[in-house]
Every structure is written in structure tokens, then in C-alpha cells.
Structure 1
């Protein structure tokens, strides 16, 4: 069973990485493809990056500098493990900084972070700072955008990771923007979606902030429980969420919790 996560726009390169963990960091698997994108991006000026990605001038300038500094050589000085570098709502729920050695080993074997630049990342894969969302309409060669650039590459990787599994399963905890790049017709695995709803102001609904955090909570729960079956996910109960069998389907698991109004 593999878990898909989205990356985050916010990054943390300030919090120190424990030396023992830095020593276990791994090299990303699709560096050649990432370098191909960098070769395109490094020719963009701040105004072009701002227009392409709808960024403020300071953010555009920051990312132009990042593209210029990006290197095929990944070191402690220019990179850190992806699960510690991303710093958005999902990763607040994941709380990777609290993992022990066994948690990291399980996560490395079961978590796949999708990325517009890197394609796929394992939690311990070294990440150099960047901004490139999967939905960006960046023309590369004959491809009009990143979905075209990555094509079936990500699905093929997931197939390869689960080639020996009798019943391959993907638990999709990624946003639609990123899942769309991996969950293609060529994917052989069963795909299970997790839906997180909160009750607020008299109705049940998906609240973006809470749902993103809940995806991280679910990934963390799976890692800490060493869960390896869809049935096991029904026991997820972090921060008040509970499985709703009457609202769920075999490949769409619904979890709800009551928020204070």
C-alpha cells in the first residue's frame, strides 16, 4: 500500500536537521527530469515567473534565485529531507520531525510525495528549495504543461513500486491538482480516496484547512500504526475524526468530526 501526498508551498530550511537523519537522506529518483525543467526555468526573469505563477515580485525574485542555484549535487548545505522541508497544513498534520527510526523506515517504503519539479519524492529524499506547482502551464519541448511533461512517468513509477504486490493499492491523500498527474489510465493499482468532513454552522462539509491537515494526520496514523490494508484505515481516529461506514464506499472512505460552533 502506497500513500500519495501533495507538496507544500511553504518551506522550512531554518529548523536544524538532526545529523543522524541527514546521514540517512536519499537522492531524488528523477533528477534528470527535474534538471530538464530547471533548464527551462532558469531562463525566466522575475517578471516572467511572476506572470507564469501569479507570484508577488519578491516571491518571483526568490524563485528565480532558487532556479539559478539549483544543482544536480545534493548536499547538507543546499537540501534537506522532503518531509522536513515542506511546511504546509498537510505537514503540520504529518509531524515528521517526531518520527523515530522505524517510522522513517516505514514512511520511506510507503509514502510518495508528488512534485511538479521532482515528479516523485520519498520522505527522506533531499529537496532543494523551489516553487513549481503541478498545475503550472509551463511549456517544455512539445508539452504545453507539466501534466504533458510528466505524462505516464509517475504512474509507471507507482506500478514499478508495487510490481510484486498481489493486490496493489494507492491511498490518495493528495489534492486533485497533484493526483491528476499520477492517477492515470496506465496505473494498475486500486485507488482509495479518503474524505474528511467537519460539522460547522449546522452542516457537514469539507473545510480546506482542516481537510489538508487531516490528510497529514491520516498519513501519520498509517505510519505509526504500520497499517497495510484498506480495512485497517477504518480505525483512524486522530483529533476526533471517526469512520462513517454508512456514507462510505469501498474506494471512498468518509471520516467526520464535530467542530465547536
Structure 2
């Protein structure tokens, strides 16, 4: 089983490890693709600041991010587990999970990135800022760029494994399993349930969804869940106290959506 995660907008801003070595990252087959994105990002951030901020979707107060993007080759690195912060990662607690369940975390968790494509928790990275939704000159939309580069290598890595997809839409665009692989993919959707006027209503949530996905990923790793099918996944989560439901697939050859229900 693999757990597919988005990165976080919030990141640590400094490391203390050796400089980046792209050849040591998960899926070294992507080294060339990673270096092309890094070069394009450096070129962009070397030019006019206004242009770079506009392309990257940054405000004037986030100019420091441009400097970090210029230092990719020389900046001290830190583990992806320590780099990514924010609601999902606060609830997931990757550093603690690595300390207690090292191999299980390394073998199961994949983090998607606009700059690196996909990385593992132990991969050492410099601080950076580049979201998957960016259209990066001259490479274009990064979701499409990484989908072309990653479909083969990542499809091979995850062959025959259940995929628990906790990514947002922008990062899901970078890798879309099809056919039999899609039938082994479960997208995690979080629904909020509450009583309104005596009736039970459900709605899709956003901020709360990040926390809940972090909780789900933590439960799967810390409890050693080894589900092989969507049905086994739902059963395991129910046993762990989560309210999980698995509607039927829309049609054969498509991913399932698992609803995790949180209540007020």
C-alpha cells in the first residue's frame, strides 16, 4: 500500500544537511526532469521580481521565497519529513513516525511536489517554493509536465499496490492511475456531518479535510495497516474508529472515492 500526499504551502525555511544531490531522491529516473524544472525555476527567479511573483502566485511579502529558489543547488538540505509543515503534516507527524516506524514510512509514503515530482520522507531537499498549479516558462503547466515524466516510473513502483490518495486536485493531476491501477486507487474525501433544523446534513470541507487526511495517513502507518483492496482499507479504518464509507465506483477502470465522515 502507498499513501499519496500533497506537499504543504508552508515549509521550513532552512536546513543543516549537505547540499542537494538529485540522484539520491526517490525514483532517480526522474533526475533529468527534476533538473530541468530546477533550472527553469532558477531562470525565472533570476529575472524581474514582479514577473517571478506573478508566475509563482506570491505576494510582495513572500519575496524571500524567490531567494530560496535561487539557492537550490547550494542551500543546506533537510528531510522531506521535516521540510513540509502545515495542518496535514502537523497531524501526520512524519518525524515521529520515521523514528518509530522507519521502514514502514519509507516504504509507504510518497509526497508530490511541483519542483521534484514525487519524493520520499527521507529524501533531503533544500527549502523552495513552487506549487504544482504553476505554469513555469518554458515547461508549461507542471501537472501535465510531471504526468508525462512520472506515469511510467511511478506506475512501475506502485504496481499491484493499493493507492490511498490524499492529494489535492492540483497534485492529483501529476499522476492519474488508469485501468487496473485506477481500480486499486482510493481518493480520500472528507465530509462534515451536522444537524441542521433536525435534519442530518453533510458537506465537503477543505481546511478540516487536511487535518483528517493527516489523521488517516497516521493511523494507516502507525497501526501497520496492509490493506490490498478498497474494501479492506475501509474495514481497517472502521476498526480503528474512523467513520469510513465506500460508494460504488462510477464505472469499471476508475478510482474509488472513500468518504471519511467527521461530526460536529
CA distance in 1, matches of 2:59, 2:104: 38
2:237 matched residue in structure 1: 236
2:208 is paired with a residue whose SS is: helix
Please state whether the residue corresponding to 1:205 is helix, strand or coil.
strand
After superposition, give the CA deviation of every residue in 1:117-162 in whole Å (9 maximum; x if it has no partner).
000101111121111111101133xx42213322332222222213
Counterpart CA distance in 1 for 2:162 and 2:31 is 26
How far apart, CA to CA, are the structure 1 residues paired with 2:133 and 2:167?
A: 13
Q: Deviations along 1:18-74, whole A, 9 cap, x unmatched?
A: xxxxxxxx6353343222122122222321111112211231x21221122111x7x
Among residues 126, 131, 135, which one is paired with 1:133 in the alignment?
131
Preserved contact between residue 156 and residue 187 of structure 1 (Cα < 8 Å) = no
Contact 2:147 2:173 in 1 (8 A): no
- Contact preservation (8 Å) 2:147, 2:176: no
**1:159 and 2:155 correspond:** yes
RMSD: 2.7
1:219: Cα distance to partner? 1.0
Q: How far apart are the structure 1 equivalents of 2:207 and 2:147?
A: 30
Give the match for residue 35 of structure 1. 35
Question: Does the alignment pair 1:195 with 2:194?
Answer: no
| Superposed counterparts of 1:1-261, under 5 Å | 1-13=1-13, 27-28=25-26, 29=28, 30-44=30-44, 45-59=48-62, 61-71=63-73, 78-99=76-97, 101-140=99-138, 143-163=139-159, 165=160, 168-185=161-178, 188-189=181-182, 190-200=184-194, 202=196, 203-229=201-227, 230=230, 231-236=232-237, 241-244=242-245, 248-249=247-248, 251-259=256-264
Cα 1:40–1:244 change in 2 (3 A) is: closer
4+ long deviations beyond 4 Å: 13-17, 184-187, 237-240
Structure 1: segments with no counterpart, 5+ residues: 18-25
Question: Structure 1 120/147 Cα, relative in aligned 2: closer, same or farther at 3 Å?
Answer: same
Call closer, same or farther: CA 1:106–1:136 in 2, change over 3 Å. same
